[in-house]
Chains A and B, each alone.
Chain A
């Protein structure tokens, strides 16, 4: 998903994409089964690479993990990011019925997955391609289910920006304002054309917004 970003980012910003285990021969280690453990492992693995100033940008489950990663970074007293961007993810999480049930049989899982969007119909229609894809997606949705919203959790010190697609029915952009209650500094909600997967079609606009936010939050941060 972030491959398209590499040659669009302005010089001075380095892109590092995180890929989870449980992804075939990319990362054949077993998939994470809960998001707190996942974030802890990410913090441990990324530790020395989290050099300020850096941004954590996540889309959907990636935003869930980035949120948990900030918690893990705080616990480990590592350098926090200068900005956290939650794209297509609500701080409250997503009601389970809006996402495919990882325990459902293939046909029901694929049916809900199809309504969620993001997976091309030709993938959903091909048993052999599904056999490759479904185990990874099941693990992802299993991980999403382990997120526990803390309504009274302390607000993050990291500035937070929310981004959403105006036609998203899974994580509606109208509900993203609640990130404000969990951020010491909330930069607001940016609305983009598109649905839950708006960031795929709005690459230039999303990067433009990100660069703008980054300039705003680093204006008073001296870069060594």
Chain B
């Protein structure tokens, strides 16, 4: 993979991923969040998970992200796809 495509693969996030990444940065105190990152491996706890769910609910709607989804596949990209798939308001 060339440097250029590598760069764009890293930096291209969907709008939902970008919003989630900002939430993660804020909750986890880490600047470097990528779409393949796992919420719990990145430092998330059961308590920060609730805060994330609360923020997702406020931002995207009450029924777009099941806590089960967060625990089953906690990667940022997967959560964003789940939210988009559930028709989360952008």
Residue from the list A24, A122, A123 in contact with B53, Cβ < 8 A:
A24
Closest CB of chain A to B46's CB: distance in Å?
A: 9
Contact B50 A133 (CB under 8 A): yes
A120, closest chain B residue (CB): B47
Closest CB of chain A to B88's CB: distance in Å?
A: 10
Most buried by B among A126, A128, A131, A133: A128
A-B contacts counted at CB < 8 A amount to 41
Number of A interface residues in the complex (CB < 8 A): 12
Closest CB of chain B to A221's CB: distance in Å?
A: 34
Contact B63 A25 (CB under 8 A): yes
Contact B67 A129 (CB under 8 A): no
Contact A129 B62 (CB under 8 A): no
Q: Please report whether the interface of chain B is mostly helix, strand, loop or mixed according to DSSP.
A: helix
Number of B interface residues in the complex (CB < 8 A): 16
- Given the known interface contacts A128-B54, A132-B53, the answer about A25 and B47 at a Cβ–Cβ threshold of 8 Å is no
Closest CB of chain A to B48's CB: distance in Å?
A: 9
Closest CB of chain B to A118's CB: distance in Å?
A: 15
Contact B51 A25 (CB under 8 A): no
* Contacting residues, chain B, for A26 (C-beta < 8 A): 66-68
CB 8 Å contact bits of B45-79 with A (1 = contact, 0 = none): 00100110111010000111111110000000000
